[in-house]
Copies of this chain bind each other. A is one copy, B any other.
Amino acid sequence: MEAKNVGLRNVTVADTKISNIDGENGKLIYRGYDIMDLVKNSTFEETSYLLLHNDLPSKKELEEFHKMLVNARDIPAPMIKNMENFRKDAHPMDLLQAFIAELGGYYVEHGTQKEVSYEMSINLIAKMPTMIACWDRVRREEEVVAPDPTLSHCANFLYMMSGKKPDPETEKILDTCLILHADHSFNASTFAAREVASTRAHMYSAISAAVGALSGQLHGGANYEVMKMLLDIGSIDKVEAWVKEKLANKDRVMGMGHAVYKTYDPRATILKELSEKLAAKTGDPWFAITQKVEEVTIDEMKRLKGMDIYPNVDLYSASLYYMLKIPMDLNTPIFAISRVSGWASHVIEEAFAEAAPKPALYRPNADYVGKYCGPEGCAYKPIEIREDE
């Protein structure tokens, strides 16, 4: 029996030009650019262009990219009809996974396979916010709001959700969140997208699968779990006892710890600042409670296990979205709305990589440890002589 590579930790599967995590120094690089710099200077639209095209756009390229996104925002009217038939308490991630796969039922793209992949990427980046905003209104039995072509990608999403144009500060906060979540190397959902694309399945197929992987609570679903935790704790004076009990029971504190970062997650640094700023404006207690969760968890993990632990991307995004009045089950869909630009870039890299090593269909091995009855297998027993258990 061979050595087991559980979870593929530390197994290197490919070369990538898309992003680099420097876990030792707490740095995240997209296509050569430090996210700290992108957050200061760029927008989500520009960052998406960078991820998809390997370079920052010229003014003209960015205008064209923006125009393509604006033109692709609408979703098919029958898709909205279809939403109306779903149960109102269905999880938005389930529907997002379905809506994305459904796109193949409405659209047909033309051109080379690579051109089709880029066109599908534009469709996905543009339409996923519309899908989520529509679903949120349909389930609340409110009229859906058509996209506004005069608004930026991020402002338009907030507008389609609430029916009101956001103020520039709110727009900037969410846009920063979208930049921060856009890519993170070979995480589980990105790897799922690449796995599906490795069979030569198309972009919608791969991204729908990635949404599925992101929905899991060990992955993107964690930002929902964080908010559930904060609501469960309820007030700052209860944090210490709550966290101590959790850790004493060997449970995890959601939003704390990361498989790759050995220091502060740079995304958490920015999200923490934004959250503090927003709480000062709204008067919400959620920033203070979150910060206390961070402190107590760090101290307790040090005391109990001598271990250093840091917040990950989910800890401060949860309360941030909550203070932006976004329904908490949309936390993970918003993660998806951003990460799609990274997923799409990875699918293109997987399918059209020019340099060696060429990607190949992912097909690992497993050790069979099941029933063994000799090389011929177990003898088949006719049903008449099998016994009930």
Instruction: Specify which chain B residues have a CB less than 8 angstroms from the CB of A38 in the assembled complex.
Output: 380
Q: Interface readout for A359-388 with B: 1 if CB under 8 Å, 0 if not? A: 111111111111111011111111110111
With A15-B367, A196-B213, A377-B37 as contacts: A104 and B81 at CB distance below 8 Å: no
Instruction: Specify which chain B residues have a CB less than 8 angstroms from the CB of A13 in the assembled complex.
Output: 4-6, 8, 364-366
**How many chain A residues touch the partner (CB < 8 A)?**
127
With A12-B365, A199-B215, A364-B11 as contacts: A17 and B370 at CB distance below 8 Å: yes
Residue picked from A364, A380, A381, most chain B C-beta under 10 Å: A364
Provide a sorted-by-A list of 29 A–B residue pairs whose CB atoms are within 8 angstroms: A5-B11, A6-B13, A7-B363, A8-B362, A12-B365, A14-B366, A15-B367, A17-B369, A27-B375, A29-B377, A31-B370, A32-B377, A41-B380, A54-B370, A56-B383, A57-B383, A57-B386, A81-B85, A82-B82, A87-B105, A87-B108, A91-B104, A95-B104, A95-B105, A191-B195, A199-B213, A199-B217, A201-B215, A201-B216
User: Does A186 reach chain B (CB closer than 8 Å)?
Assistant: yes
With A16-B370, A82-B85 as contacts: A199 and B188 at CB distance below 8 Å: yes
User: Does A42 reach chain B (CB closer than 8 Å)?
Assistant: yes
Give the contacting residue for A372; candidates B6, B32, B188, B204; CB below 8 A.
B32
Contact A59 B386 (CB under 8 A): yes
User: Does A129 reach chain B (CB closer than 8 Å)?
Assistant: no
Instruction: Specify which chain B residues have a CB less than 8 angstroms from the CB of A31 in the assembled complex.
Output: 370-371
Q: Which residues of A contact B (CB under 8 A)?
A: 2-20, 22, 25, 27, 29, 31-34, 37-38, 40-42, 46, 54, 56-62, 76, 78-79, 81-82, 85-87, 89-91, 93-95, 97-99, 101-102, 104-106, 108, 185-189, 191-192, 195-202, 204-206, 208-209, 212-221, 259, 355, 357-373, 375-384, 386-389
Give the contacting residue for A192; candidates B46, B82, B105, B195; CB below 8 A.
B195
Contact A363 B3 (CB under 8 A): no
With A58-B383, A192-B209, A212-B101 as contacts: A185 and B366 at CB distance below 8 Å: yes
Measured CB to CB, the nearest residue on chain B to A384 is B59
Chain B min CB distance to A377 (Å): 3
Give the contacting residue for A370; candidates B20, B62, B76, B204; CB below 8 A.
B20
Q: How many copies does the complex hold?
A: 2
Chain B min CB distance to A110 (Å): 13
Chain B min CB distance to A34 (Å): 3
Contact A376 B34 (CB under 8 A): yes
Measured CB to CB, the nearest residue on chain B to A368 is B20
Chain B min CB distance to A75 (Å): 12
Contact A58 B389 (CB under 8 A): yes
| Cα distance, A3 to B10, chains bound together (Å) | 11
| Cα distance, A209 to B34, chains bound together (Å) | 32
Contact A383 B94 (CB under 8 A): no
